[in-house]
Amino acid sequence: MEIFKKGFSKFIGKIFRSRYTFVFVNGFLLASILYFYSEDNYEKKLFESLASYVKNKSRGTANYQEALLLNSLHVTYSLCENRSAIFGNKGIHSFKSSVIHPVTYDLMTSDGACGSYSYVLSRLLNELKIPNRIAQMKVNGFYGGHILVEAKAANDWVVMDGSYNLYFKKPNGVIASFNDVQRNWSFYRNQLPANYNLNYNYGGVRYTNWEKVPVMMPVIRKILSLAIGKEKANKFSFRTYILRKFHILFELTIYIHLLLLIIFIRNYLRRSSNRAIRYFSILFSRKRSLLIVMAESKSKCA
């Protein structure tokens, strides 16, 4: 940590010692802010259009909230399934797709299989202001073997699998939750489509891999447990809140830019203040020297 602090301080020092370096960094940050904003705006407009379509399709139904959920599922499956057949296993290797990997990439290619379906569905539900969480199913003893989405319905969290356009109905006709399916798999497996992978048997679920980033993720989990309770923290889906990656990068870059501007202004004022102090001290010392010379001259004349 100390090495990082020293390196960062040295880097900042170099920026502000060179006017040209500062202008370059400032220009780079401004260009990045504009780029991230335009990309985020493009993504938002896409999902606003999808959300508008879902709302229009759901109007006039007996249960509007349920219709929003199911139409979101159907739209996600319709878009991603066709594109998965074209782009599946092809891969588009670029900085944008590999490093940033926005949801627009999943929407366009569905190259991430069940993950792509889930990210698109979750992003669409976010745009509809419907609380949801991305769920990592336990498959053959390992979490993350299959990814799906749970959304908040009237009385419970209901499970939706975008990869298969799948949801489950209870005997009373209400959409089932993950726990419902897990507790009575023998009943709900009769609702599976013919091409379903039976390894995805609802054996368990988690919502965030808290061990993925050592130290940082466990600390975040502890803070969440204290803030909202251990049970809610265990069901907190971190990924759901970072789907708008360009928006996060846009805000982060603005903060960095403002921080650098504040440091620059503070350093500039400090340098100006030091120059003023030096100027007046030199002026005072010269005036003092002049007074001394004049005093000596008077004493000699006397």
pLDDT (mean) for 118-143: 95
Q: Summarize pLDDT for 236-249 with one digit per residue, the tens.
A: 999 999 999 999 99
Q: Where are the alpha helices (DSSP H) in 90-177?
A: 95, 103-109, 114-127
- Report DSSP letters for 168-205, one per residue: -B-TTSPBPPHHHHHHTHHHHGGG--TT--TT-----E
What whole-number percentage of the chain has pLDDT above 70?
81
In this predicted structure, the answer to whether residue 74 has a pLDDT above a threshold of 80 is: yes
105 and 228, same structural domain? Answer: no
What pLDDT sits at residue 251?
A: 96
Q: Name, in order, each residue with C-beta under 8 angstroms of 84's C-beta and a sequence gap of 6 or more.
A: 109, 110, 111, 113, 116
Question: What pLDDT, on a 0 to 100 scale, did the predictor assign at position 15?
Answer: 55
What's the pLDDT score for residue 59? 94
Do both 86 and 120 map to the same domain?
A: yes
| pLDDT computed for residue 36 by the predictor | 96
Distance from C-alpha of 286 to C-alpha of 293, rounded to nearest angstrom:
10
Query: Are 214 and 244 found together in one domain?
Result: no
Question: What's residue 158's pLDDT?
Answer: 96
Mean of pLDDT values over 224-234: 90
Instruction: Indicate the DSSP class of residue 34.
Output: H
Residues whose CB falls within 8 Å of the CB of residue 170, separated by 6 or more in sequence, listed in order: 176, 180
Question: How far is residue 123's CA from residue 102's CA, in Å, rounded to a whole number?
Answer: 11
Examine the pLDDT at 35 and tell me if it is beyond 70: yes
Instruction: Tokens for 103, please give them.
Output: 């949801």
Same domain, 104 and 228: no
Query: Do 224 and 157 form a contact (C-beta atoms < 8 A)?
Result: no
Has residue 214 got a pLDDT over 90? Answer: no
Assess whether pLDDT exceeds 80 at residue 204: yes
60: in domain? yes
Question: Burial letters for 151-167: b for 16+ Cβ neighbours within 10 Å, e otherwise?
Answer: bebeebbbbbbbbbbbb
Q: What is the pLDDT of residue 277?
A: 57
183 with 220, same domain: the answer is no
* Total structural domains within the chain: 2
3-class SS of residue 67: helix
158 & 222 share domain: no
Strand blocks (E) in 6-87: none
Instruction: Give percent above pLDDT 90 in the chain.
Output: 58
Distance CA 53, CA 45 (A): 12
Q: Identify which of 254, 256, 252, 218 has the alpha carbon closest to the alpha carbon of residue 238.
A: 218
Same domain assignment for residues 54 and 104: yes
Tens digit of pLDDT for each residue in 253-302? 999 988 888 877 777 677 666 565 565 565 556 555 655 555 556 555 55
- Could you tell me if 169 and 185 lie in one domain? yes
Average pLDDT of the residues in 124-128: 96
* Range of lowest pLDDT (83-97, 131-145, 163-177, 225-239): 83-97
- With a cut of 80, say whether residue 90 has pLDDT above it: no
Which CATH number covers residue 122? 3.10.620
Using CA atoms, how far apart are residues 83 and 151, in angstroms rounded to an integer?
A: 24
Distance CA 271, CA 279 (A): 12
| Domain span holding position 216 | 210-236
- Is the pLDDT at 210 greater than 70? The verdict is yes
Name the average pLDDT for the chain.
Answer: 85
Residue 82 has pLDDT above 90, yes or no: no
Is the pLDDT reported for residue 11 higher than 80?
A: no
Which are the contacts of 30, defined by CB distance < 8 A and separation ≥ 6? 257
